[in-house]
Amino acid sequence: MISKFLDPKNDYAFKRIFGTEKNKDILIHFLNDIFAHTTNPIEEVTFLNPSQDPKLAAERKSIVDVLCTDKEGNRFIVEMQVGHEKGFEKRAQYYAARAYINQRDKGIEYKDLKNVTFLAIVNFELFPENPSYICHHQVLDIKTHKRDLKDFSFSFIELPKFKDKKNQLKTLTQKWCYFFKKAPHTTEEDLKEIIGSDFIIRKAYDELDRFSWSKKDLQIYESVDMKISADKAIHDTFFEKGLEQGLEKGLEQGLEQGIKKTAQRMIQMGIKIETVSEVTGLTHQEIERLKKE
């Protein structure tokens, strides 16, 4: 039986829900629900260019899923990470630092730099020794525990640690975690029990309704899934064989082949070059070369 709802962990679906103007009310609701412990609710957001360094954009080394500011200028980075990438917590700090530094590009004085908040939803255990499925990190004085340096904060939702059933969902945070983890296995009947009267979470589920997606959008969604599956298969194969020498190089070559195969499949589907580039990270020139192979 085909599931009605697609997977929000899919990069294309995630950006469609949380990274578009028409759905920014979903993003605002989500951020306020996750950061309910803060004193200033977010009322409005403005999307920024997710590429934080044009020189690295072609290599997809400094591109985030969602980058936005609130009306006070505070910056929010929202990331979905499916694969267990080594050093992801360092990448989180790098992205936050880039978002902080880039404020100076507009001539802002140091004293006027605004806060950067990094939020990641990860489909693996990032901090195995911490039993909680959601954690918040800030810079604190090691003796007084005062937060004198207030400009950076990091939050992580680790989906494998979230075990609550649909009849146990009491808070909005729980409902969002259930959404990310269980949406493809959720039925229309389940929604009555899951979301209650929450209009915005209902809207998020509606955005995942496969029967409302165009054929083209479904093809892009499936292409992203194909790339993830190919990357994972290549990664697992190398580790199963226990290759120690040249592992990093081998993985790099294997992943490159997986990306190219995904791009070629998308080209065969008739998907525009701009979209193929966005999904795979290949340049327009590289895609044109693939079309000739």
Q: Does 2 fall in a domain?
A: no
Decide which of 144, 178, 212 is a domain's last residue: 212
Q: Identify the sign of the CA torsion 98, 102, 108, 112.
A: negative
Is the pLDDT at 158 greater than 90? The verdict is yes
Q: Model confidence over 39-58: pLDDT tens digits?
A: 688 999 999 887 545 444 33
Query: Is the same domain home to 142 and 168?
Result: yes
Q: Model confidence over 91-144: pLDDT tens digits?
A: 999 999 999 999 987 778 999 999 999 999 999 999 999 999 999 999 999 999
Decide which of 146, 181, 212 is a domain's last residue: 212
Q: Can you tell me the mean pLDDT for 215-241?
A: 68
* Residues 6+ away with beta carbon under 8 Å from 118: 77, 79, 92, 93, 95, 96, 152, 153, 154, 155
59 falls in which pLDDT band (50, 70, 90)? very low
pLDDT of residue 139: 94
Query: Is the same domain home to 19 and 130?
Result: yes
pLDDT averaged over every residue in the chain: 84
Asked whether 95 and 154 are in contact (CB, 8 A), the reply is: no
pLDDT of residue 281: 74
The CA distance from 163 to 133, in Å, is 9
Q: Does 104 fall in a domain?
A: yes
Query: Is the same domain home to 228 and 181?
Result: no
Asked whether 287 and 261 are in contact (CB, 8 A), the reply is: no
Query: Is the same domain home to 149 and 179?
Result: yes
Q: Does 1 fall in a domain?
A: no
Query: Is the same domain home to 131 and 232?
Result: no
Query: Is the same domain home to 146 and 200?
Result: yes
Q: How many residues does the chain have?
A: 293
Q: Does 236 fall in a domain?
A: yes
Q: In what order do the strands lie in the sheet with 45-47?
A: 45-47, 66-70, 75-81, 116-122, 152-158, 134-138
Is the whole model's pTM more than 0.85, yes or no?
A: no
Query: Is the same domain home to 111 and 234?
Result: no
The CA distance from 234 to 260, in Å, is 13
Query: Is the same domain home to 165 and 260?
Result: no
- Enter the tokens of residue 124: 């693996």
The CA distance from 164 to 18, in Å, is 23
Alpha carbon distance, N-terminus to C-terminus of the chain: 38
Decide which of 212, 229, 256 is a domain's last residue: 212
Query: Is the same domain home to 259 and 142?
Result: no
Query: Is the same domain home to 69 and 156?
Result: yes
Query: Is the same domain home to 170 and 254?
Result: no
Q: Does 6 fall in a domain?
A: no
Q: Most distant CA pair in the chain: distance in Å?
A: 64
Query: Is the same domain home to 196 and 281?
Result: no
Percent above pLDDT 70 for the chain: 84
Q: Does 4 fall in a domain?
A: no
Least trusted range by pLDDT, from 77-86, 158-167, 225-234, 240-249: 240-249
230 falls in which pLDDT band (50, 70, 90)? low
Is the pLDDT at 227 greater than 70? The verdict is no
The number of distinct structural domains making up the chain is: 2
277 falls in which pLDDT band (50, 70, 90)? confident
Chain-centroid distance of CA 199 in Å reads: 23
For residue 33, the number of C-alpha atoms closer than 13 Å in the C-beta half-sphere is 18
Is the pLDDT at 254 greater than 60? The verdict is no
Asked whether 123 and 82 are in contact (CB, 8 A), the reply is: yes
Q: Can you tell me the mean pLDDT for 229-249?
A: 50
Where in the sequence is the domain holding 273, given as residue range(s)? 215-292
